[in-house]
Amino acid sequence: MQLKDGFNITVSIIERMKEVFEILPSEQRSKCALCDETMTHVIKKIEAEAQVSNRAACRFMSAQTGKNESTIRSAVNKVQGKVVEKSTSTATNSKHIDIVGKVIEKTGTNDDKKGTISQQDAIRMVSKETGKSESAVKKQVQRAKSKSVFNKSDIEWCDFTWNPVTGCHHNCPYCYARGIATRFTDIFPRGFEYHVREERFFAPDNQPYPKPGHDKVFVCSMADLFGEWVEEEVITRILSIVSAHPEWTFIFLTKNADRLPGYEFPENAWVGVTVDKESGLAPALTGLSGVDALTKFISFEPLLEEFFVDTDHIKTVVDWVIIGCESGNRKGRFIPKFSYIYDLYHRFSKDGFPVFLKPNVALSFPQHLPRTHYDA
Same domain as 112, residue 85: no
Which of 108, 123, 147 is the last residue in one of the domains?
147
Which range is least confidently modeled, 92-106, 142-156, 161-175, 202-216?
92-106
Same domain as 200, residue 239: yes
Same domain as 171, residue 277: yes
CATH number, domain with residue 256: 3.80.30
Torsion over CA: 241, 243, 246, 248 (sign): positive
Q: Facing residues of 167 across strands?
A: 223
Find the domain containing 114 and state its range: 99-147
What pLDDT shows up at residue 30? 46
Q: What is the tens place of the pLDDT at every residue in 308-321?
A: 999 999 999 999 99
Q: Facing residues of 152 across strands?
A: 160
Same domain as 156, residue 127: no
Same domain as 223, residue 354: yes
What pLDDT shows up at residue 17? 52
The DSSP string of 116-160 is EPPHHHHHHHHHHHH---HHHHHHHHHHHHHH--PEE---TT-SE
Among residues 217, 177, 216, the alpha carbon closest in space to that of 194 is found at: 177
pLDDT tops 70 at residue 97: no
371 is a domain residue = no
Same domain as 127, residue 217: no
Which of 93, 112, 130 is the last residue in one of the domains?
93
Same domain as 249, residue 284: yes
6 is a domain residue = no
- The mean pLDDT value of the chain amounts to 81
115 is a domain residue = yes
Q: How buried is residue 266: exposed, middle or buried, by Cβ count under 10 Å (0-12/13-18/19+)?
A: middle
375 is a domain residue = no
Which of 62, 78, 93 is the last residue in one of the domains?
93
Q: How many folded domains does the chain comprise?
A: 3
Rounded to two decimals, the pTM is 0.65
Q: What is the tens place of the pLDDT at every residue in 227-271?
A: 999 999 999 999 999 999 999 999 999 999 999 998 999 999 999
Same domain as 156, residue 135: no
373 is a domain residue = no
Q: Are 325 and 361 in contact (CB under 8 A)?
A: yes
Average pLDDT over residues 169-194: 93
Q: What is the tens place of the pLDDT at every residue in 2-53?
A: 333 333 443 444 455 555 545 544 544 444 334 545 555 666 655 555 555 6
Same domain as 188, residue 259: yes
Same domain as 141, residue 115: yes
| Percent of the residues in the chain that have a pLDDT greater than 70, as a whole number | 74
- Which pLDDT band, with edges at 50, 70 and 90, does 83 fall under? very low
Same domain as 179, residue 65: no
pLDDT tops 90 at residue 160: yes
